[in-house]
């Protein structure tokens, strides 16, 4: 999941697949959830306001609502903070 705009999908996907590595380990393949907002709004939220967590909280809540209460779709997280 990222607060980046959907227009940055290819660049972000490439970065996650090729550049993110720690102790020889990379992220597993999976979906990439992005901001539905345009580039300017996404950039402002992420870089200027430094509040990408606001979008991510809403997105995680939306993902959880899709599944029954007995399921836990989110089991781990990875971040740069």
Contacts of 70 (CB under 8 A, 6+ apart): none
Predicted local distance difference test score (pLDDT) of residue 78: 67
Q: Is the pTM of this model over 0.75?
A: no
Q: Tell me the per-residue pLDDT of 13-56, one tens digit each, with 9 for 90 and over.
A: 999 999 989 999 998 898 999 999 999 999 999 999 999 998 99
DSSP secondary structure string, 40-53? HHHHIIIIIS--HH
Domain layout of the chain by residue ranges = 6-66
């Amino acid at each position: 999941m990222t607060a980046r705009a959907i227009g940055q999908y290819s660049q972000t996907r490439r970065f996650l697949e090729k550049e993110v590595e720690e102790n020889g380990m990379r992220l597993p393949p999976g979906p990439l959830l992005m901001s539905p907002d345009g580039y300017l709004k996404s950039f402002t939220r992420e870089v200027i306001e430094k509040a990408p967590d606001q979008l991510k909280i809403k997105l995680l809540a939306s993902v959880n609502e899709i599944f029954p209460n007995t399921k836990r779709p989110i089991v781990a997280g990875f971040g740069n903070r």
